[in-house]
Structure 1
Amino acid sequence: MNNVERHQHIIRLVNKKGHVSVVELCDILGVSSVTIRKDLQFLEDSGLVYRTHGGVTKQNPYQTDRPVIEKEKIHEKEKQAIARAASKFVTANDSIIIGSGTTTQFLAREIVPQGHLTVVTSALNVTFELLKHANVEVIQLGGSVRHTSSSVTGLYAMQILDQFYCSKLFLGVDGIDLEYGISTTSAQEALLNQKMISVAHQVIVLADSSKFGRKSFGKITDYSQIDVIISDDIPKPYLDRFDSLGIQTIICGKG
């Protein structure tokens, strides 16, 4: 098998499986890891694949910032299913924090408050969704507004959080990497998320399956501070890791 044939075979495998390891490619193609790594470098330089630690993927593992108006239309059914599952964690007379993002906006739409509900949020889109409920008290954090996320960040928002302690934090993320942890595209957003984690009893991550195997600029936390992860699908290596750490996982089908 010459270089061109090998490259074509690699592309077909990546398109079929989504991610293929260097070890797998060595076994399938009968060549050394040095040869495979050269192949992957050539294919990445050509813009055909993306290299990852120990393998290759068809999806860019680095998540970049996009406006919520654009993100809201992506994986819509998955986000609806995740939001419905997450809404079941909201109890009567609860006090919760909802972070920014489109999946958390879907959660706000799904919430049917029992008794009085207090919601602390940095997200303007979440606030607008909850205003229809007379028995929901929304505490909107203040600060600099990020246009892409329709949410606030900064020192003022972090200082206000010092005044509260909530039962749950519902956190949307842009990336979940096996080693790196969970992340978001904004460093300022990541800092605010870290503060939210510190004032919440339970941390619930909402992430559709496209977020797995991806990293973003701002690291929020490793897995030690996560209690629950809700997704439409979770790759087995992540399920094994979460199980070993005692993290509850909920997989819900598309809406």
Structure 2
Amino acid sequence: MNDTPSSKGEIRRNLMMNLLKQQGKITIADIIERFDVSEATARRDLDMLDRKGELIRTIGGALYEGMSSVREVAFSEKKQQLWLEKEAIARKANEMIQEGDSICLSGGTTTYLIAKQLKGRQGITVVTNAVNIAMELADSEGIQVVVIGGVMRAKNFELCGPLAEKTIEHINIGKMFLGIDGFNIQQGISTYSELEAQTARMLMNRALQTIAVLDHTKVGKASLFSIAPLTSLYGCISDAPFDGQISSYLQCNDIRTFIADQTPSMTS
């Protein structure tokens, strides 16, 4: 009896990866038909392969990681990159939040740092789909935290999917601070995950103002899945001025730009 469920599952996932490499993509329906499994099993297999970094998860299936030049970086790895610049962006965002505000923080290292800046503030409601942000604010008595449900993506702790979307339909947001992976004129704001892109679009629709928070390495880049055009933004916060073309585009479309001060006060 060495044909255990775990060995069957491993063999099936290996066959799925071979098929994915050949075709470049695979759908849930393909997996159900080819491997005679339930939809729940098909989704679970894709989620397991996604956690291993072997594919790019999409709403209806998956893409082969090797088909794309972009690579999603885990939160733990992102934490080591441009920390001071991201802290400066977070301080700027904190200045824009007032008592009584209802804000939204998407997942990401910069938005996580905004949450850290908010600790100790009073009379603020924070809506988030990121588990680590919710936990960071859990002991802040002056902040009400609303967590959007869903399936957690292990690489960045974001909750996505149908459950998250049902919650989003019933909330109202004043300012949304949106972490992104790409920012350019042609593709707009973009991210690595299709699930996150869809959740972000829904949150933006519920917000009066959306403010993208991004360090200079994201400018001019495009990630795999577009969230929305730049014109959908109220503004953006970055650690460095934008170049001439993007700066002119933002100005012409009345998109406000805020440049973070990277030299915090030394008067303490």
TM-score by length of 2: 0.70
Amino acid at match of 1:227: Y
64 and 133 in structure 1: CA distance in 2 versus 1, 3 angstrom threshold: same
For 1:94, the equivalent position in structure 2 comes to 101
Which residue number in structure 1 is paired with residue 209 of structure 2?
A: 202
| Residue number in structure 1 paired with 2:244 | 236
Native 8 Å contact 2:125 2:145 kept in 1: yes
Q: Aligned AA for 2:247?
A: L
Corresponding letter in the other structure for 1:73: Q
1:155 corresponds in structure 2 to: 162
Superposed CA deviations along residues 87-126 of structure 1, whole A, max 9, x for unmatched, are 1111112111110111000110111565321111001121
Q: Distance in 2 between matches of 1:67 and 1:75?
A: 15
SS in 1 for 2:199: helix
Structure 2 gap segments, 5+ residues each = 1-67, 264-268
How many residues align? The count is: 195
1:31 is aligned to: none
Q: How does 1:169-248 map to 2 (within 5 A)?
A: 169-233=176-240, 234-248=242-256
Work out which of the residue numbers 254, 259, 265 in structure 2 matches 1:251: 259
TM (norm. structure 1) is 0.73
Counterpart of 1:238 in structure 2: which amino acid? I
2:131 corresponding residue in structure 1 = 124
Which of 78, 81, 85 does residue 78 from structure 1 map onto? 85
Q: Distance in 2 between matches of 1:132 and 1:163?
A: 25
C-alpha contact 1:63 1:215 (8 A) present in aligned 2: no
CA displacement, residues 61-88 of structure 1 (integer Å, 9 cap, x when unaligned): 9642110000011010110000000111
Q: Aligned ranges for residues 64-75 of structure 1 at < 5 Å?
A: 64-75=71-82
Please tell me the residue identity of whatever aligns with 1:240: S
RMSD: 1.5
